[in-house]
A and B are shown apart, each in its own frame.
Chain A
Amino acid sequence: MNRTINTRGPATAAEYGYDDLRAFMTRMTGDEKHSFAATSTLDVLWVLYDRVLRYDQVHPTWEGRDRFLLSKGHGPMAYYAVLAAKGFFPVDELDRFGSFDSILGYHPDRLLVPGVEISSGSLGHGLGLGVGMALGGRIKDSQSRIVVLMGDGELDEGSNHEAIAIASRFGLDRLAVTVIDNDSAKHGWPGGVASRFAVEQWATVDVDGRDHDAIEGAMATETDGRPLAVVAHVEGRDG
């Protein structure tokens, strides 16, 4: 539930919806090799920012916000489109994507982009950071959720499996991971991506990554004190 909407820029955030996102994404050129990565995440990102996360786009560092970490920093065009649609920065900024003076690079930078919690791009960093943020939240007795978006290909990085293990050992029930499974992992995940989390006692849900109601419902899963992994299946590159 969002506290405010942004009123900066040529229009208010309230004027933009899901149907505007693909047009926004076409305004960002130069990183076409990651278009597939971007379109894979689009629906999950929209549902998170439209229905799940608490944030204040006018005050992006509001202490009570949920933290969203785009660990899979490749192809952030969908992320930027959603942030612009929700008013974190003016939509016109999208046209400067990747240019020298733009705040929007091919990988997001938390020191440049309002609302971006972590700088990412090198795979396998976001979940470790998310575990640290969740532990920090526990010390502060915070009710904020930490939501980390990853890719099934990104799970190849061994650092993720360190973090998957300790998140459950510490019972980080404010931590959720959304894995976009678009069959990018070179050698696949026999038994399914969710099994990699389930074996470490995470609560897991598999959903259609284009079904907004299903994604929203999965993010509301009761976890009985465990971290949550939502595996969002989308069409593969050849799909």
Chain B
Amino acid sequence: MAETRTDTMRTRFMRVVGDLLASDDRAVAVLAVINRGLFEEEGLIERYPNRVIDVGIREQSQIGVAGGLALEGFRPIVSGYAPFLVERPFEQIKLSLTHQGASAVLVSVGGSWDSAGAGRTHQAPADVALISALPGWTVHVPGHPDELDALLRSGYAGGGSVYIRTSVEANRSAHVSARSEIVTLRGGTPDGVTLLVVGPGVDEALAAVEGLDATVLYTATPNPLDARTLDAKVAGDDLVIIEPYLAGTSAGRVADALSNRPMRIRSHGVHQPEVGHYGSPRDHRRFHGLDARGIREFVTSA
């Protein structure tokens, strides 16, 4: 994979959505104000006045409208801030999409701490857990704009319900392509610990295990998890999940994948959603113990 990072996930999202609107008449972007400025800058609202729909600050209707469009044969791409895209209209996602047998691509910004200064109202560490509680959803947590690019295009083309959690943070390199795979970033021995890192945070995890006997695996797709590859790649009996969302979100799927052996599985993610501090994303990563030092402390603790 390329070692370059030429843009952000947000700008890459806009580029891909522009391509999809141009190439597929079924593509419809549904907004609730968030991202509208970017769509205007790209000229997409002017170019596709009927297929870029901004419902205003009405997130329940944003999902309901997407459901109605999907029932009419369109492929909605619905974007917004994670708390307002997932948590606020969760019943609409459950009933106006999933229960109808309708599908859409939901793309969020904000994640767990991107808007660190905005506080709890703009943070959604439970988003992946919530979406994963619904049947049939694929969840991608890209760690790099190139990953977002590939996963958004493949997720759109796949036709199912897809949630993509973008971030202002990005790993130095892209590690996965459009396939929902688990890859090995660092090898260790069966006597050592294995880290399964999801999305942004790879560089911190690699720095954390410097000098340790540790295998580092990576995925941008926590649901459905690439269980067969995980089973094949985990050699030892000690696994730590490094997840940039609510701690424990992916533990069940990992446990299912490794249920054929005795394993210790620990989850390291957002343990305390009510932070009570502002600052920067880096501050919050440190607060949650997801910087290199925090990860090392967690991994080496008994």
Contacts and interface: CB of A to CB of B under 8 A. Distances in A.
A133 B101 contact: no
B60 interface: yes
Contacts of B99: 119
A34 interface: no
Given A129-B71, A166-B61, A118 B100 contact: yes
A162 B71 contact: no
A129 B55 CA distance: 13
Nearest to B66: A132
B95 interface: yes
A135 interface: yes
Contact of A136 (B55, B69, B100): B69
B20 to A, nearest CB: 15
Contacts of A124: 60
Interface residues of B, number: 28
Interface in B153-188: none
Contacts of A158: 60
A139 B65 contact: no
B28 interface: yes
A87 interface: no
B100 A110 contact: yes
Contacts of B69: 132-133, 135-136
B260 to A, nearest CB: 36
Interface in B41-99: 50-51, 53, 55-56, 58, 60-61, 63-74, 91-92, 95-96, 99
Contacts of A131: 61, 64-65, 68
A173 B27 CA distance: 23
B72 A133 contact: yes
Contacts of B60: 124, 128, 158-159, 162
B95 A130 contact: no
Contact of B71 (A118, A163, A165, A166): A118
A206 B44 CA distance: 41
A125 B72 contact: no
B58 A133 contact: no
Contacts of A117: 71
B74 A125 contact: no
A148 to B, nearest CB: 10
A146 to B, nearest CB: 8
* A contact face: mostly helix, strand, loop, or mixed: helix
Interface in A85-108: none
Nearest to A122: B95
B74 A136 contact: yes
B59 to A, nearest CB: 8
Given A133-B69, A133-B72, A127 B101 contact: no
Interface string A130-174: 111111111110000000000000000011001101100100000
Nearest to B28: A139
Contact of A162 (B55, B68, B70): B55
Contacts of B66: 132
Given A159-B61, A162-B55, A166-B55, A138 B50 contact: yes
B65 A110 contact: no
Interface core residue of A110, A134, A158, A159 (most chain B CB under 10 Å): A159
A185 interface: no
B51 A139 contact: yes
A111 B50 CA distance: 28
A147 to B, nearest CB: 13
Contacts of A135: 50, 53, 65, 68-69
B64 A129 contact: yes
Nearest to A169: B56
Interface string B16-38: 00000000000010000000000
Contacts of A165: 56, 58
Given A135-B68, A139-B28, 17 more contacts: A125-B64, A125-B96, A128-B61, A128-B68, A129-B64, A129-B68, A131-B65, A131-B68, A132-B69, A133-B68, A135-B69, A136-B73, A138-B50, A139-B50, A139-B51, A166-B55, A166-B56
23 contacts: A110-B100, A117-B71, A118-B100, A122-B91, A124-B60, A125-B92, A128-B67, A129-B67, A129-B100, A130-B68, A131-B65, A132-B64, A133-B69, A135-B65, A135-B68, A136-B28, A136-B72, A137-B72, A158-B60, A159-B61, A166-B55, A166-B58, A169-B56
